[in-house]
Structure 1
Amino acid sequence: MSSVRGKVAVVTGAGSGIGRQLALELARRGARLAVSDVDETGLAETVAQVKALGAEVQGAALDVGDRAAVLDYADTVAAQFGVVHQIYNNAGIAGGGQTVLDAEWELYDRTLAVNLFGVINGTKAFLPHLIDSGDGQVVNVSSLNGFMAQPTLSAYCASKFGVRGFTEALRTEMIAGRHPVRVTVVHPGGGKTGIASAALKEAEARGIEPTAEQRERVRVYNEKLLKMPADQAARIIVDGVEAGKPRVLVGNDAKLVDRLVRLLPRLYPKLIVDFERRRLAR
Structure 2
Amino acid sequence: MMFDNKVIAITGAGSGIGRALALNLAERGAVLALSDKDADGLAETRRLLGNRPASITTLDVTDTAALNGWISAAVSDFGRLDGIINNAGLSVVAPFADCPAEDFDRVMAVNFTGVVAGCRAALPHVRSAAAKDGVGWIVNISSVFGMMGYPTQSAYNASKFAVRGLTEAMALELAITDPNVAVIRVHPGGIKTNVARNSKRIALLPGQDPDSDFAAEFEKAARTTPEQAAQTIVDGMVRRRTRVLIGPDARFIDWMVRLFPESHFRRIGNFLGGRRR
TM-score, reference length from structure 1: 0.89
Shift of 1:214: 6.8
1:74-132 Cα deviation digits (max 9, x unpaired)? 11111111100010000111x23110111111121100000001111100001000011
The alignment partner of 1:101 has SS state of helix
1:249 and 2:248 are equivalent in the alignment: no
Shift of 1:146: 0.8
Structure 1: stretches of 5+ with no match in the other structure: none
Give the count of matched residue pairs: 268
1:156 and 2:153 are equivalent in the alignment: no
1:116 and 2:89 are equivalent in the alignment: no
Question: CA contact under 8 A between 1:131 and 1:179: conserved in structure 2?
Answer: no
Cα distance in 1 between the residues matched to 2:234 and 2:270? 35
Instruction: Trace 1:36-51 onto structure 2 (pairs within 5 A).
Output: 36-50=35-49
Aligned to 2:171: 171
Q: Which amino acid aligns with 1:237?
A: I
Instruction: Trace 1:1-282 onto structure 2 (pairs within 5 A).
Output: 3-50=2-49, 52=50, 54-93=51-90, 95-134=91-130, 135-200=135-200, 213=210, 215-223=212-220, 225-275=221-271
The alignment partner of 1:192 has SS state of coil
Cα distance in 2 between the residues matched to 1:227 and 1:249? 13
Cα distance in 2 between the residues matched to 1:137 and 1:233? 17
Question: CA contact under 8 A between 1:236 and 1:250: conserved in structure 2?
Answer: yes
Shift of 1:274: 4.9
The alignment partner of 2:13 has SS state of coil
Q: Which amino acid aligns with 1:140?
A: N
Cα distance in 2 between the residues matched to 1:178 and 1:57? 27
The alignment partner of 2:93 has SS state of coil
Cα distance in 1 between the residues matched to 2:98 and 2:243? 34
1:155-212 Cα deviation digits (max 9, x unpaired)? 0010001001000101111112135311111111101012101114xx5xxxx58895
Cα distance in 2 between the residues matched to 1:252 and 1:273? 15
**CA 274–179 in structure 1, closer or farther in 2 if over 3 Å, else same:** closer
Question: CA contact under 8 A between 1:151 and 1:273: conserved in structure 2?
Answer: no
Percent identical: 41
The alignment partner of 1:183 has SS state of strand
RMSD: 2.0
**CA 112–214 in structure 1, closer or farther in 2 if over 3 Å, else same:** farther
Shift of 1:276: 6.0
Question: CA contact under 8 A between 2:191 and 2:226: conserved in structure 1?
Answer: yes
Cα distance in 2 between the residues matched to 1:178 and 1:35? 25
Question: CA contact under 8 A between 2:94 and 2:203: conserved in structure 1?
Answer: no
Structure 2: stretches of 5+ with no match in the other structure: none
The alignment partner of 2:97 has SS state of coil
Q: Which amino acid aligns with 1:217?
A: F
TM-score, reference length from structure 2: 0.91
Question: CA contact under 8 A between 2:98 and 2:203: conserved in structure 1?
Answer: no
Cα distance in 2 between the residues matched to 1:139 and 1:83? 17
Cα distance in 2 between the residues matched to 1:128 and 1:56? 23
